[in-house]
Every structure is written in structure tokens, then in C-alpha cells.
């Protein structure tokens, strides 16, 4: 199956996630546009094969048993970025950092916050990614996508129903293929300076030298997840090679571990924080696949 798309067979997902964990995908393909995505879904449906869609794998924990069926990876080929005036259009697989850099080079402000987020445009708009008082909802004006049956989708900012780490994409059955950003003219030097400032903050505060899936838990209303974890004395706490970062308690890192240990560490942190602080932490990362 999927030979016409040059599918990889039994492809280790550890090679396709920033966490560097995960068992094999039965089949893995890399579409170039929405038409190919629709064709991949058709072939999968004809063969009763389940489909999982990923971007850059930066907000993802794949379990040790891997992913059954077909994995469609948007983040390899769908990276085109175009500009017309203060409007940027980016395919869903474009990295947020690349779009922010494109904007900076054009003297457009609004995406500085995204310059260090290690995810794709599609993933970013799906979860309304944000940092340092900025988020996708502030700059996205239109989202295009495709349903598994091949029909097109086009949603305005209002129809996206953005909220904290949420958009309507999480409930709708369609794949994001292109996002339109509306930005404002700004001083290129000031824009670059702001991006450099934010990236320096990230390097100072986040464990960028170790594999992670980014911020592991959502921010509970009225609290900060990292502060709660730190207050519970969990910095440096580990199960196997999965560890709560000593640099930033909101990051769980891989120092040489399995997905099982990483997931168990997540559950342990949740249990301790709930017991000691009375707050239930919800995962910000997406968990897919099967246990061994």
C-alpha cells in the first residue's frame, strides 16, 4: 500500500519527534499539497487503514508500540511561504520560526513571539500556540484545509473559535493546509531586536539542549504549571531517563528513556501536584500510538 506516495514502512517515530521517542509507524508519507493529502486519505479508506496526521513532531509523545496505519507528515514538504503587502500565506508544514523570520525581513511586526516556537504553522494554529504575550489568534485571519473526503474548508479568524491552546480544528474533521497572517508594518531593526531578546530568554530559561516536547502541561487558570511543579519539589525528579528539567519545571526531558517512562512521569507529576496543590494539570502535548 501507498507505494505511489513513496511511503516509508515501519518507520521509527523517534526520528520524527523532537522528544526522540516512539515506536514505528506502519506507513509514513510526506504530501506536497492538499490534493495529495486527499489522495492519501482515499487510499487509506479503501484499505480500512487508520490515519494520523503530524507536523514537525514538536508537541508529540508517540508511545513505544508505535502508530498503526498511515502517518501523514505535513512538516517535510509543505513549507511554502508567500507575501503580498502585509499579508503572509504559509503552507501548514512551514516552521513558525521561518514565517516569523520572513515577516521580519519584510519589516512586518506581529509574529516576533513565534520566532522560537519549534512547531509548524498547522500545529500552531490548531492549538493556538503562543508565548510572551503573543498567540496565533492575534495574527491569523484565514485558515484553509481539506477534509478526509477531499472537500475544501476555509475558516475566518472568528470561525476558528480561538481560546487558550485551543481552536475549532481540534473538534473538526479536517487537516490544515494553509494559513493567512495579517501583520503590521514595523521597524526591521526593532523587530529583529525583539526576536533576539525572546530567543535569548528561551535559551536562558528552557532546556533546549535536551530532547523535549516543549511545555508539557497547559497553564491552569490562575496558576503556572511550572511554578506548581517547582513548589512541589519536583525539579530533577525522574523515572528512568525521563526527568523534570532542573532549568524549567514545565519541561519534561528525555535523557535516554522510553515513552512508557515519560508517560509515567507525566502521570506522577499530575498526581503529586493534584495531591499537594489541589490543581489538576492537563497535558499540553498530544499523545498518540499504542503501548508495546
Q: Give me the catalytic one of 115, 212, 215, 258.
A: 215
Print burial letters for 178-209: b (CB count within 10 Å at least 16), e (below 16): bbbbbbeebeeeebbebbeebeeebeeebbee
CA dihedral 78, 18, 139, 79 (to 10 degrees): -10
The phi and psi torsions of 228 (rounded to 5 degrees) equal -65, -45
Do the beta carbons of residue 236 and residue 243 sit within 8 Å? yes
> From CA 195, how far away is CA 291, in angstroms rounded?
40
Q: Give me the catalytic one of 79, 144, 165, 219.
A: 165
Whether residue 284 lies in the annotated active site: yes
Whether residue 79 lies in the annotated active site: no
Helix (H) / strand (E) element for 188: namely helix 188-205
List beta partners, residue 185.
108
Q: Give me the catalytic one of 11, 43, 178, 284.
A: 284
C-alpha atoms less than 13 angstroms from C-alpha of 143 in its C-beta half-sphere = 31
Q: What is the DSSP pairing of strand 24-29 with strand 67-73? A: parallel
SS (H, E, C) 211-231: CEEEECECCCCCCCHHHHHHH
Q: Return the closest-CA partner of residue 134 out of 105, 114, 160.
A: 114
> From CA 145, how far away is CA 116, in angstroms rounded?
25
Q: Which residues are catalytic?
A: 165, 215, 284
Amino acid at each position: 500500500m501507498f507505494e505511489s506516495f513513496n511511503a516509508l514502512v515501519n518507520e521509527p517515530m523517534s526520528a520524527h519527534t523532537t522528544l526522540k521517542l516512539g515506536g514505528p509507524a506502519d506507513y509514513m508519507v510526506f504530501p506536497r499539497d492538499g490534493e495529495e493529502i486527499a489522495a492519501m486519505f482515499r487510499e487509506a479508506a479503501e484499505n480500512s487503514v487508520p490515519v494520523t496526521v503530524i507536523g514537525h513532531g514538536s508537541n508529540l509523545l508517540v508511545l513505544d508500540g508505535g502508530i498503526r496505519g498511515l502517518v501523514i507528515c505535513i512538516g517535510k514538504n509543505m513549507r511554502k511561504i508567500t507575501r503580498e503587502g502585509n499579508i503572509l500565506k504559509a503552507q501548514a508544514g512551514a516552521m513558525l520560526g521561518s514565517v516569523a523570520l520572513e515577516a521580519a525581513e519584510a519589516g512586518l511586526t506581529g509574529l516576533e513571539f513565534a520566532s522560537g516556537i519549534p512547531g509548524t504553522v498547522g500545529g500552531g494554529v490548531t492549538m493556538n500556540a503562543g508565548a510572551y504575550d503573543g498567540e496565533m489568534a492575534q495574527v491569523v485571519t484565514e485558515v484553509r484545509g481539506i477534509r478526509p473526503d477531499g472537500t475544501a474548508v476555509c475558516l475566518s479568524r472568528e470561525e476558528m473559535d480561538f481560546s487558550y491552546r485551543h481552536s475549532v480544528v481540534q473538534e473538526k474533521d479536517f487537516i490544515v493546509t494553509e494559513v493567512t497572517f495579517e501583520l503590521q508594518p514595523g521597524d526591521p531593526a526593532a523587530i529583529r531586536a525583539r526576536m533576539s531578546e525572546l530567543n535569548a530568554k528561551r535559551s536562558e530559561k528552557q532546556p533546549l539542549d535536551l530532547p523535549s516536547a516543549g511545555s508539557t502541561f497547559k497553564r491552569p487558570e490562575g496558576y503556572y504549571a511550572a511554578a506548581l511543579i517547582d513548589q512541589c519539589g519536583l525539579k530533577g525528579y525522574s523515572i528512568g531517563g525521563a526527568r523534570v528539567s532542573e532549568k524549567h519545571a514545565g519541561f519534561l526531558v528525555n535523557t535516554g528513556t522510553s515513552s512508557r517512562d515519560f508517560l509515567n512521569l507525566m502521570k506522577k507529576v499530575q498526581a503529586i501536584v493534584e495531591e499537594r496543590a489541589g490543581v489538576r494539570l492537563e497535558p499540553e502535548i498530544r499523545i498518540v500510538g499504542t503501548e508495546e
